[in-house]
């Protein structure tokens, strides 16, 4: 998309951050060319990060037309609105106000419940605690299994026929879920217990808009070690 490239779009972040992955998928869905800038988010933080997000000093940050947009949910909605006519792509957020509100509700749920659980399991090493945390995934994921039936309306994605806002939010977590399954030899997204979500996950990861942006499970230890080492 030449017009977008000329506007010098940049994304500040690290490759394994689910919040950064959300932004990158949204940009690809809209056909927007951008530069990905790896930044240091631990102290001392990268100068460009502090300058671009002086309030929270967190990733991701979208730089567009010399202005900064922060917080992944805000950025994805900005991308959806800013490039609504240029790319000819479908809207990322649902058009219906009620459906849009429901999608936002579940994205908040994912951030509050699922990502907190992923973070806890990521740093846990004690076997008993790992087992306990792994057991908490099903109760957290089950409401999303049911929400898929409602939001997807019998189609392939939460967004219906195409990847949408809720798909991006949950899909950005899949790399970590698969990596943690492998690292701890546990099953977190069990196809027998969560059949709709398991099938959805396969479809999502196979999408062209997603390929290469959600790292493979084997890549996470290396990418995480590199990110920590650079901090």
pLDDT tens-place values along the chain, 231 residues long: 434 444 689 999 999 999 999 999 999 999 999 999 999 988 899 999 999 999 999 999 999 999 999 999 999 999 999 998 655 568 999 999 999 999 999 999 999 999 999 999 999 999 999 999 999 999 999 999 999 999 999 999 999 999 999 999 999 999 999 999 999 999 999 999 999 999 999 999 999 999 999 988 888 777 666 655 555
Shared-domain flag, residues 45 and 138: no
Q: What is the CATH number of the domain that holds 203?
A: 1.20.1050.10
| Residues contacting residue 204 through CB under 8 Å, at least 6 positions apart | 157, 163, 167, 171, 174, 210
Q: How many CA atoms lie within 13 A of 110 on its CB side?
A: 25
Q: What is the CATH number of the domain that holds 66?
A: 3.40.30.10
Whole-number pLDDT of residue 88: 58
Looking at the structure of the chain, the number of domains it has is 2
CA distance 72 to 42: 18
Residue with tokens 């939010």: 169
Shared-domain flag, residues 70 and 115: no
CA distance 79 to 32: 9
* Residue 190 belongs to domain spanning: 97-226
Shared-domain flag, residues 62 and 120: no
Residue 91 maps to a domain: no
The side-by-side arrangement of strands in the sheet containing 67-70 is 35-38, 10-13, 61-64, 67-70
CA distance 15 to 194: 28
* Closest to 33 in 3D by CA, of 7, 53, 51, 54: 7
Per-residue CA distances from 22 to 90, 124, 150, 165, 194 (Å):
16, 25, 22, 9, 23
Shared-domain flag, residues 126 and 200: yes
Residue 57 maps to a domain: yes
* Closest to 210 in 3D by CA, of 149, 180, 168, 153: 168
Strand partners, 12: 37, 61
Residue 53 maps to a domain: yes
Residue that terminates a domain, selected from 82, 105, 134: 82
Q: Are the CB atoms for 159 and 165 separated by under 8 Å?
A: yes
Residue that terminates a domain, selected from 59, 82, 105: 82
Residue that terminates a domain, selected from 82, 117, 138: 82
Shared-domain flag, residues 213 and 126: yes
Residue with tokens 């998928």: 25
Shared-domain flag, residues 172 and 208: yes
Residue 90 maps to a domain: no
Residue 88 maps to a domain: no
């Amino acid at each position: 998309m030449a017009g977008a490239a000329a506007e010098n779009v940049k994304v500040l972040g690290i490759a394994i951050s689910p919040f950064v992955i959300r932004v990158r998928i949204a940009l690809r869905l809209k056909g927007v060319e951008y530069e990905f800038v790896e930044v240091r988010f631990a102290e001392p933080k990268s100068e460009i990060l502090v300058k671009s997000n002086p309030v929270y000093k967190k990733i991701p940050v979208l730089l567009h037309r010399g202005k900064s947009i922060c917080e992944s949910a805000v950025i994805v909605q900005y991308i959806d609105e800013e490039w609504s006519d240029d790319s000819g792509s479908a809207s990322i957020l649902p058009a219906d106000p009620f459906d849009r509100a429901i999608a936002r509700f579940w994205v908040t749920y994912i951030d509050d419940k699922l990502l907190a659980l992923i973070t806890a399991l990521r740093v846990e090493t004690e076997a008993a605690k790992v087992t306990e945390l792994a057991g908490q995934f099903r109760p957290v994921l089950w409401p999303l299994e049911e929400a898929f039936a409602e939001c997807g309306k019998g189609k392939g994605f939460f967004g219906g026929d195409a990847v949408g806002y809720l798909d991006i939010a949950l899909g950005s977590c899949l790399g970590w879920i698969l990596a943690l399954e492998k690292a701890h030899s546990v099953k977190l997204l069990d196809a027998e217990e969560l059949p709709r979500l398991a099938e959805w996950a396969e479809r999502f990861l196979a999408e062209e808009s997603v390929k290469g942006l959600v790292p493979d499970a084997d890549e996470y230890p290396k990418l995480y070690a590199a990110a920590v080492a650079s901090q």
